Structure 1
Amino acid sequence: MGMTLLQKMGWRPGEGLGKNKEGSLIPLQLEVKMDKKGLVSQEELHPRPVMPVPVATMSKCLAGKHPVSLLVEFCSKRHWTAPHFDLCFECGPDHKKNFLFKVRVNGVEYKPSVASPNKKQAKAEAATISLRALGVLPP
C-alpha cells in the first residue's frame, strides 16, 4: 500500500526519497512484537525476586494508623490479597445495635470475641485482632 502511494506521487523503485532523491534506499527494518506482554523496558523483563519484609520493620513503618488501613497496607506489602471483612453478627434494638465483624487475611479468619456498638469500631476490632495474631501489633 505504501509503495502504491509513493508511486502515485512520482517515486520509482531504486530512487531515493526526497526532493533531490538523496534519501535512503534501504527500507527500515521493523521489530514486530508478537506477544501480549506490553511495552516494557529491559529491566522489567527480568523481575527481581520479592524479599519478605520482616515484621519488626513493618511495625515501625505502620505504627500510628487506623487498624483497618494498617491491615490493608500490611497485606499489600506482603503481596497478599486484600483483607475481606464480613458482618457475622448483629443484635439489639434499632437504636442500640451491636455488631461483630470477622476478617479473612491470607485465607485465615480472625474474629473478636466481643461485639462493638458501631460498624466502624467492629471492623477496627477485627483488624486489631488479626494484626495481633500476625505479630504486627503487640499482644
Structure 2
Amino acid sequence: MSDLSGTHRGDVFTSAAPVRGGIGMYLLQKMGWKQGEGLGKNNEGQKEPLMLDFKVDRKGLVTEGEGKKPAAKAPVVKDLSGKHPVSALGELCNKRKWGAPRYDMIHESGPSHMRDFLFKVHVNGTDYQPSITSNNKKLAKAQAASVCLQILGLIPRTEMVPNQL
C-alpha cells in the first residue's frame, strides 16, 4: 500500500526526521536537558531515542508457533476455592446471566454484644441457606454463598468459609 508521495507505508516510520520540537521536547528542556546529553541525574542515560518496531501489516500480533493449530482443549472450570464466596457467587451469577444474588437475613438473635445471624441467598430462582448461624453478618453472608456454591458443585462440600473475612 502506498501513500500519495509514492513511498511505502512502512518507510514512513523509518525515514521520518528526528523530532525537533513538541511538548515532550519542551518538558525535557524545561527540566534542564540539552540536546546530545544523556537522561538522568548525572546525564548517564541513553542519548539516542528508542528504536521502535512498528507493525504495518493487518495480520494481528504474532506469537511463536503461530502456524501450528492448538490442540483441542478440555472445558475449563474456573477454580473458585481461593476466592471469597460472596465474590465467587457474584461472578458466577454475572457470567451465567442469572442476575445478582439476593441476600436476605432470616434470623437475628442474642444480646447486642453477642448477636447471631443467619442469611439465605436467592440465586436463579432458588434459595440457599446454611444450617448454622454466625456471630457476624459478613460471615453469615459468606456461609450462605458457600452453601450455594457447594450445592452447585463448584467448591467441595468439605470446604467452609475462610476464617479471616
| TM-score, scaled to structure 2 | 0.48
Q: Find out whether 1:132 has 2:150 as its counterpart.
A: yes
Query: Aligned partners of 2:153 and 2:96: how far apart in 1?
Result: 13
**Match of residue 78, structure 2, among 32, 47, 59:** 59
SS in 2 for 1:81: coil
Secondary structure, counterpart of 1:79 in structure 2:
coil
Partners of 2:93 and 2:124 in 1: CA distance = 8
Partner of residue 77, structure 1: 95
1:68 Cα offset (Å): 0.1
Using the alignment, how far apart are the partners of 2:89 and 2:100 within structure 1? 9
The CA distance in 2 between the partners of 1:57 and 1:116, in whole Å, is: 34
What is the count of residue pairs matched by the alignment?
Answer: 83
| Aligned-pair CA distance for 1:131 | 0.2
5+ residue gaps, structure 2, are 1-74, 158-165
Match in the other structure for 1:120: 138
C-alpha displacement of 1:73: 0.2
- Which amino acid in 2 is paired with 1:83? P
Contact 1:59 1:137 in 2 (8 A): no
Q: Secondary structure at the match of 1:59?
A: coil
Deviations 1:20-70 (A, max 9, x none): xxxxxxxxxxxxxxxxxxxxxxxxxxxxxxxxxxxx73332x341100000
Superposition RMSD on alpha carbons, in Å? 1.3
**Which residue of structure 1 aligns with residue 110 of structure 2?**
92
What is the alpha-carbon distance in structure 1 between the residues aligned to residue 77 and residue 90 of structure 2? 12
Letter aligned with residue 77 of structure 2: M
Q: How does 1:22-41 map to 2 (within 5 A)?
A: none
Structure 1: segments with no counterpart, 5+ residues: 1-55
Higher helix share goes to which structure? 1
Q: Secondary structure at the match of 2:77?
A: helix
Residues 58 and 76 (structure 1 numbering): CA distance in 2 closer, same or farther, change over 3 Å? farther
TM-score relative to the length of structure 1: 0.57
SS of structure 1 residue aligned to 2:93: helix
Aligned partner letter, 1:125: Q
